[in-house]
Chain A
Amino acid sequence: MILPLIKGLATTLRYCFSKPITLQYPEEKRTPYPRFRGHPELVINEDGSRRCVACTLCMVVCPSNAIRGIVPAEGPHHEKYPVQFTIDLTRCIFCGFCQEACPKAAIKLNNLYELAQYDKEVLILDIERATQKKPEMRAPDWL
């Protein structure tokens, strides 16, 4: 009868003296796992140019119509690139299909997860805001 009680107390005591599991969010932030799927963004090359060639495959594959308004243009060397590109994070379901469909590795899901906003408009990214600033994964402090 008393034995289980002691067992429970021992567990409690053990946890009193071990490292806490709870994260003190938002003071403390969690680093996501490498394969975490945050929101999609347009990848840039070392020279700052976008990799996207406006093939619209990501738009086609997106199951929730979060990617739209890709407007292609022709550059001076006949290259194709987007001049408009909208990623609607209010629709994105973070499935990663776009990343998978992209033949140019030009769209990737980053590791951002703090997407809550007071104003929905902020979540509709135009081509500038949908593009990485640095040719690497974005740190979770920009939005």
Chain B
Amino acid sequence: MINLTIDGRAIQAEPGKTILEVARENGIYIPFLCYHPALKPIGSCRICVVEVKPGPPRPLPACATYVAEGQEVVTTSERLTAIRQELMKLVLINHALECPICDKGGECELQDLTHALGVPEVDLTAIPATSPPDYESLLVERHTDRCVTCGRCVRLCRDHVGAMAINFMQRGYFTELGSGLLPLDCEFCGSCIDICPVGALINKQFKYRARAWEVTKTEMVCPFCGGGCSYELHLKDGEIMRVYNGETALLCGRGRFGWPVITSPERLRTPLVRVNGELQEATWEEALAAAAGGLKAVLEEAGPGALYGVGSPRATNEANYLFQKFFRAGLGTNNLDNPGRLHYVKALSALGQVFGWPEVKEADGPHPKPPAYTSPFSVKEETKGSGFTFVLGSLEELPRADAALILGADLTPELPPLGWGVNAARQKDDFQLVVANPRGTKFDRWATVSLRYKPGAERLVVAGLMKALLTAHPDLTPAIPAQGLDDLKESLKKFSLKEYASRAGVEAADLEAAAAILAKAQAPAILFGTELLNQDKGEMNALALADLFLLVGKPGTPGSALYPVAEKANTRGVCELGVLPDRLPGLLPLDSPAAPAFWGEHKPVQTPGPTLLEVLDKLEQDEADAPRALWLLGGDLLRWLPNRSRTEKLLSKVKFMVVQDAFLTDTAKLADVVLPVAIHAEQEGSFISSTGQLGVLKAALGTDGVLPDWQIICRLASALGVPLSYRTPAQIFAEFARQIPLFAGLAPRKVVGRTGIPAELKGTFVLFDLDISLPGRRPFTLIIGKVLQHSGSFTTHEPCGTLVVTPEAAVSLNPEDAAQLELKAGDKARVISSHGEVEAKVALDPLLPAGVAFLPEHFAQPAAQMLTLNSNLVRVSIQKA
């Protein structure tokens, strides 16, 4: 600790902090303009000047001067006021001063500063520098005549978003913010809007709709992806005005601009019931009676095993917990799963094999009456944690990694916050990045080594990396006790490094360079995404990465962790809450001694139920124990399961299907009863983000006919003779949190496994297969994946804001491939696989290697899953349509 005085007040501060930071922490006001807590200080505006003794005779910028022992800081004096006022006058020369129509009016830092510094008038004149406002750009409007050239937006976009879309043009007095005289062509994240101190960057969705002081603010967690960003929802008269993040400013486009989707006219507002083969509108009573009747008939005829449930990664923890409670405590079966089966569950299963499933022993509690959404357990000295949860990283520590391997993920579209984390990490000089992806991605630009491997060759890349590592460092020992290293070494002998490299389509030297980076790193992070998990051998891919992390990772060092992408808002939560056929809430095994708590009157069933994919096989083979009824808690199976025509055929074999969804999805169209659910701020509840953070949704909007999932489950379960009744979601949270010691110390914004539980880790190297063949002879390998502006199909409904940026899906091709096929951008192409074909517009993408094509999965058309068999990779031929 450092002792200093500010304005005569004795203050203790941590070393390495700036005077401004310390002053702010201690409630001492120092005006500033170019500084923002989320950015590195540049000290350019000099509004924050203070007198520092000992120091030079001139005042110093508080935002860029570090505290030192014995410093005496004076924040207000005549000289300082004069300097600040003079600077403000320079800022205000020719400032537009259109506060009445400027959306920033009322929350404008320039207005506040002018007041605080008592700038009497601007007695300076300069020739007017007028550049017209930019009304052309999508979603963001730029008024350069209001810009104070603080550079916050430029730094944010460059250093944190990584888009580098805006910069200053001209020099001196004529400096103006620009993007090369063209409208913005960027990620459209809108983060620059929230960091701008003035009204120079304006949110078009908010423009002229409300004044800053008219809105009521609700703290929310973003429902669009597994990033778990929190933001403020601003409402006026019960209508959403905007999404705002004043804290870090960072949000992605779908989080910031996607909210209008909740007002979509396509939303279901009344329940639907199938009458004479047609879905017809019904009241809630009728629909619930119909659903209960249909399910009861099946249950009575074929027993509790005849009903299968699919939980939802978009539903809250509370809804998912009740859902599994209905199946376990109500019916006494393990017949449930969640759509994460296609990707995230594979990662969990691999991690479970290598690091063990999570377990927390000796947590203190349960204490009575914890606050809402807070675990009743706390961490005490004897508390011990083990298992993979403790090697999964949090977002907060990612910037502290000193090396990162991003494999099989186009990081920003998959999970923007991981991208921001890596960007923050690369602000450190010693940070080194390895990017491995069949396609070029944004992060290649900053990568020390880029590995462009053949689609599907992830395991060869990882094996090659391990081979190179172990060759260069034969006595490399894992940081935690590990078994099976010798077997792994043995299995790696299958090929030489050159062979690994050539089979994967990369250079052996690059593998060696990447391995050297990982070997040297003190805190290496490994990030991987659904692109690699979605493959049929996704679990093998995850195993390979888990092995690699066991080999080079430094668990316990902040930043050194695994970051698998859990795609949707609650993909991690739906798994942690036990909507799995083989795991109970808290990821407890079925034979756990704590199991009886989850089974009510029933005896715990120790045999796992069938997985979602096994259920489909059972339906295909007309097995006797194939489910006859399905209860889907959202999730458009037709859209997400590979091989759509097969799924369609199999789902039609199901006798009775109840679907809860916000939209009439293709799967819902096959249902017998469709129950419309509340989304976004229409409901309360909690999510667990991809990086384990607990986010709490608040009900801020009216529900307009729909019901939250948890209420529907309560009512339907009760009608089926399983009485479930709760007053609030917080009550449900309290119930399950009492059963889950893994959540010890968890509270809103806290991270599962990062609540101070000391972890005892050990690992086992598990061998993975190296067979990467992709069946078929067609010339192109098509990757089906995600694009930045969309989250599942959620954001593809008008009037979602991001639809103006990416209104439709196009199949991307390397320009040379396209030229050979005589296709130009915008042409229609037929994409044909051995299972089906779709027609799609062509887009050219020089970042794609030859022979690889890419198709986004989000849109109804082209229906990407028509092409696939069991993986997101498929061989296709492409022709002009």
Contact = CB atoms under 8 A, between A and B. Distances in A.
A binds B: yes
Interface of A: 53-57, 60, 72-74, 78-80, 103-104
B207 interface: yes
Interface string B124-143: 00000000010100000000
A8 B657 CA distance: 104
A103 B100 contact: yes
Contacts of A74: 207-208
Contacts of B880: none
B99 A103 contact: yes
B11 interface: no
B213 A60 contact: yes
A78 B135 contact: yes
15 contacts: A53-B101, A54-B208, A55-B99, A55-B100, A55-B105, A56-B211, A56-B214, A60-B211, A60-B213, A72-B208, A72-B209, A73-B208, A78-B133, A80-B208, A103-B100
Contacts of A103: 99-100
A58 B207 CA distance: 20
Contacts of B105: 55
B211 A80 contact: no
Interface of B is mostly: loop
B637 to A, nearest CB: 43
Contacts of A73: 208
Given A72-B208, A78-B133, A80-B208, A55 B213 contact: no
A68 to B, nearest CB: 11
A8 to B, nearest CB: 61
Nearest to B214: A56
Interface of B: 99-101, 105, 133, 135, 207-209, 211, 213-214
A79 B101 CA distance: 8
A55 B207 contact: no
Contacts of A53: 100-101
B100 to A, nearest CB: 3
Contacts of B101: 53-55, 79-80
Nearest to B141: A78
Nearest to B103: A80
Contacts of B100: 53, 55, 57, 103-104
A79 B98 CA distance: 11
| Residue of B99, B207, B208 with most partner-chain A CB within 10 A | B208
Contacts of B209: 72
Nearest to A80: B101
B132 to A, nearest CB: 10
Interface of A is mostly: loop
A56 B100 CA distance: 8
B798 to A, nearest CB: 20
Contacts of A60: 211, 213
Contacts of B211: 55-56, 60
Contacts of A72: 208-209
Contacts of A56: 211, 214
Nearest to B204: A74
A57 B212 CA distance: 12
A53 B208 CA distance: 10
Contacts of A104: 100
Contacts of B135: 78
A73 B214 CA distance: 16
A103 B102 CA distance: 13
A142 B208 CA distance: 33
Nearest to A104: B100
B290 to A, nearest CB: 43
A104 B101 CA distance: 11
A74 B101 CA distance: 10
A24 B101 CA distance: 48
A72 B105 CA distance: 15
A54 B133 CA distance: 20
B318 to A, nearest CB: 38
A74 B211 CA distance: 14
Nearest to B97: A103
A56 B213 CA distance: 10
Contacts of A79: 101
Contacts of A78: 133, 135
Contacts of B214: 56
| Residue of B100, B135, B213 with most partner-chain A CB within 10 A | B100
A104 to B, nearest CB: 6
A60 B99 CA distance: 15
Nearest to A73: B208
Contacts of B133: 78
A73 B208 CA distance: 7
B110 to A, nearest CB: 16
Contacts of A55: 99-101, 105, 211
A93 to B, nearest CB: 22
Nearest to A77: B135
A72 B103 CA distance: 12
A56 B101 CA distance: 10
Contacts of B99: 55, 103
Nearest to A60: B213
B279 to A, nearest CB: 38
Given A53-B100, A80-B101, 6 more contacts: A54-B101, A56-B214, A73-B208, A78-B133, A80-B208, A103-B99
Contacts of A80: 101, 208
A56 B209 CA distance: 11
A54 B662 CA distance: 36
The 6 nearest A-B residue pairs measured at CB: A55-B100, A80-B101, A72-B208, A103-B100, A53-B101, A53-B100
A60 to B, nearest CB: 7
B408 to A, nearest CB: 45
Nearest to B209: A72
A78 B207 CA distance: 10
A125 to B, nearest CB: 21
A57 B100 CA distance: 8
A54 B102 CA distance: 11
B673 to A, nearest CB: 41
Contacts of B213: 60
A99 B278 CA distance: 62
B146 to A, nearest CB: 14
A56 B211 CA distance: 8
A39 B99 CA distance: 26
A103 B211 CA distance: 15
B237 to A, nearest CB: 10
A91 B205 CA distance: 34
A79 B211 CA distance: 16
A18 to B, nearest CB: 53
A4 to B, nearest CB: 63
B645 to A, nearest CB: 47
Nearest to A57: B100
A57 B101 CA distance: 11
B606 to A, nearest CB: 63
B440 to A, nearest CB: 38
Contacts of B208: 54, 72-74, 80
A74 B141 CA distance: 14
A27 to B, nearest CB: 44
A60 B106 CA distance: 11
A57 B213 CA distance: 11
Nearest to B133: A78
A53 B211 CA distance: 12
A80 B207 CA distance: 10
A55 B211 CA distance: 8
A53 B101 CA distance: 7
A58 to B, nearest CB: 11
Contacts of B207: 74
Nearest to A103: B100
B242 to A, nearest CB: 14
A60 B853 CA distance: 57
B75 to A, nearest CB: 32
A66 B254 CA distance: 39
A53 B214 CA distance: 16
Nearest to B105: A55
B557 to A, nearest CB: 53
Nearest to A69: B237
| Residue of B101, B105, B133, B211 with most partner-chain A CB within 10 A | B101
